[in-house]
Structure 1
Amino acid sequence: MPDGEELDGLYDESYYGKGRRKFSGVLEALIAALTFLKWKRLRPFLGPGGRLLDIGCGRGTLVGLARAAGFEAYGLERHFPGAPFSPNIFYHDLTECKFPERHFQGVVLWHVLEHLPSPVTTLQEIHRLLEPGGWLSVAVPNFGGAQARASGKDWFHLDLPRHFWQYELPVLEKTLEGVGFTISRRATLSLEYDWFGTLQSWMNRVAKNQNRFYSLLKGRPGGTAGAQATQLSLAIALALPALASALWDAVRGQGGTLTLLAQKPSNKPAATGS
């Protein structure tokens, strides 16, 4: 595996984007809206004044939403060029933060686990930080899904060498249960990841230009103006079929993303009859 310096090189400006933006303004607004919808689904799991930790928080959108709603929320992220300053976002590894035991009601780990050199160590630390009954929301690309199987080496979410691990549902469940979590919910659809993942994977297979459209959306177009126009035209032509395919995969339980809600068992004794 890459060492610390090599890892830093994988997460430079080309990965995170410049300043507070990774994509164009329209796409950033869409991502913010989808993050808000995710927050609305997570909020009921936090009690009044609950504490939330978002690991891999990016620019802190979810942390900001939680704090605006009156919760105590913190984020962790790798330091990157133009990283925004916030007293609630720490640019450190989880184990370096020294949070107290049983400190959080909820932890979010969206599209992070596959990037970690030692995922089990991180999950063990999360388990320690959660209060009994606390929950972990984890999402990873679905290596066992239809999108991954059909795309092979052209799969957008393969993302080598940044993704050290690829998870299928049984492996992810076994990993979480081995640390002490119980699985309460499972889903295989993340609309923004699966729709775009299907689209870019198809384009990789057709045009043989690995993730060129993704680079175009990030403001790193490359190639001639004609090549860029071809990429855009191909994306427009495939957009609706890709959406239909992503939704159909999810209906069959074969979607491009695994999203699990795992819980740390409560210490409450089981009820007994009198």
Structure 2
Amino acid sequence: MFHKEHSTPIFNLITKKEFYKNLTPYLNCIDYTVSKESYEVMKNNSFDMLVTSPVPDNLNKYYLSENYISHTDSKNSLFDKVYHLVKNYTLKKKLKLIDSFKTEEKSILDIGAGTGDFLKVCKNNGWKITGVEPSEKAREFSKSKNIILQEDISEIKNTQFDVITLWHVLEHIPNLIEYVQQLKKLLKPNGVLIVAVPNYKSYDANYYKEYWAAFDVPRHLWHFSQTSISKIFSLVEINVEKVLPMKFDSYYVSLLSEKYKTKKSQPIKAFLTGLKSNMKAKRTGEYSSLIYVLKNR
């Protein structure tokens, strides 16, 4: 059923310039995955978030790497195999989370669906699935699993969903302001939005600084805190209900960060740093990545 969208005039007062004004230097980071180019990470104090500058004209070419693992099903290396073992575990946790919501039709939209594994699990457990994935290569992998994905969110017309998920996607969106408005239109009243993003206020982020792999410039255009997520979505009357940890991310990110920092793999040191980050986050709540469960009003 399609519900009439809510009007949110306050959001129209916030322009893209709001995110780019009064920026102060924070860090200089390098794209270790593709280009080896240098980018400034600037801080917006009013939203308590970081902004990557400049934004390249052709962002797509910065995703063209076999190292960009979320768009492949590669299991060639030990690292790939460990990644996929963890992914299978987290897929079960994600399913358990969405199954915990009381929904009308069990309809779900997954944005940035990658190679379709999450939607396949959802489909096998009674969910009515829709997915969006801009990568043609990833869509082809997904198609081989009988999961058909749209290329862009604009292709979804005249429908709303009980649940919308963005697993490590929001940080990639160039037109953040407009995109949040689109999410509002696609979410049913009282629908649930799940947003998972890296947390630049975690211990591992502060430890590795410019080498922190989750900065991932220029693919990550925005770097969020709990304050920024709450502020941005409250403007469209979508409010944070609870915040959950992604504990595996500290180990994965630390492993990559060690490689960037020292030019060699240091799995033991990375594991200890990831462990320390999670232990500190038990007190502060600032895990390496966070899942925000938000509800539409």
TM-score when normalising by structure 2: 0.72
Which residue does 2:73 correspond to in 1? 20
Which residue does 2:63 correspond to in 1? 11
- Separation (CA, whole Å) in 2 of partners of 1:172 and 1:159: 19
- Separation (CA, whole Å) in 2 of partners of 1:53 and 1:258: 20
RMSD over aligned Cα atoms:
2.2
1:118 to 175, 187, 192: 175
What is the CA distance between 1:246 and its match in structure 2?
Answer: 2.7
- Asked whether 1:151 is paired with 2:203, we answer no
Structure 2 counterpart of 1:196, one-letter code: Y
* Residues 13 and 81 in structure 1, CA contact (< 8 A), matched pair in contact too: no
- Separation (CA, whole Å) in 2 of partners of 1:42 and 1:70: 12
Structure 2 counterpart of 1:133, one-letter code: N
- Asked whether 1:98 is paired with 2:182, we answer no
- Secondary structure of 1:24's counterpart equals helix
Q: Which has the higher helix share?
A: 1
- Secondary structure of 1:179's counterpart equals coil
Which residue does 1:212 correspond to in 2? none
Change in Cα spacing, 1:9 to 1:88, as seen in structure 2 (3 Å) is: same
* Residues 63 and 73 in structure 1, CA contact (< 8 A), matched pair in contact too: yes
Which residue does 1:264 correspond to in 2? 296
Residue-by-residue CA offset, 1:188-213 (whole Å, 9 max, x unaligned): x21221221133324433x1x2xxxx
Structure 1 counterpart of 2:151, one-letter code: H
Instruction: Show structure 2 runs of 5+ residues with no match.
Output: 1-54
- Separation (CA, whole Å) in 1 of partners of 2:80 and 2:107: 32
* Residues 249 and 256 in structure 1, CA contact (< 8 A), matched pair in contact too: no
Which residue does 2:192 correspond to in 1? 135
* Residues 51 and 104 in structure 1, CA contact (< 8 A), matched pair in contact too: yes
Structure 1 counterpart of 2:221, one-letter code: F
- Separation (CA, whole Å) in 2 of partners of 1:204 and 1:111: 21
Structure 1 counterpart of 2:248, one-letter code: E
Q: Aligned pair count? A: 235
- Asked whether 1:29 is paired with 2:82, we answer no
- Secondary structure of 1:67's counterpart equals helix
- Separation (CA, whole Å) in 2 of partners of 1:87 and 1:121: 31
Which residue does 1:169 correspond to in 2? 226
What is the CA distance between 1:35 and its match in structure 2?
Answer: 1.4
2:278 to 244, 247, 252: 247
Change in Cα spacing, 1:7 to 1:239, as seen in structure 2 (3 Å) is: closer
Structure 1 counterpart of 2:56, one-letter code: P
State the identity %.
24
- Secondary structure of 1:105's counterpart equals strand
Instruction: Show structure 1 runs of 5+ residues with no match.
Output: 210-229, 266-274
Which piece of structure 1 moves more, 132-141 or 48-57?
A: 48-57
- Separation (CA, whole Å) in 1 of partners of 2:191 and 2:96: 17
* Residues 104 and 162 in structure 2, CA contact (< 8 A), matched pair in contact too: no
What is the CA distance between 1:99 and its match in structure 2?
Answer: 2.7
TM-score when normalising by structure 1: 0.78
Residue-by-residue CA offset, 1:22-74 (whole Å, 9 max, x unaligned): 66345323312221122112212153641001101111111011111111012
- Separation (CA, whole Å) in 1 of partners of 2:103 and 2:229: 27
> Based on CA coordinates, which of the two structures has the bigger radius of gyration?
1
Which residue does 1:220 correspond to in 2? none
Structure 2 counterpart of 1:250, one-letter code: A
Residue-by-residue CA offset, 1:146-169 (whole Å, 9 max, x unaligned): 222222111110101111111111
* Residues 184 and 262 in structure 1, CA contact (< 8 A), matched pair in contact too: yes
* Residues 143 and 149 in structure 1, CA contact (< 8 A), matched pair in contact too: yes
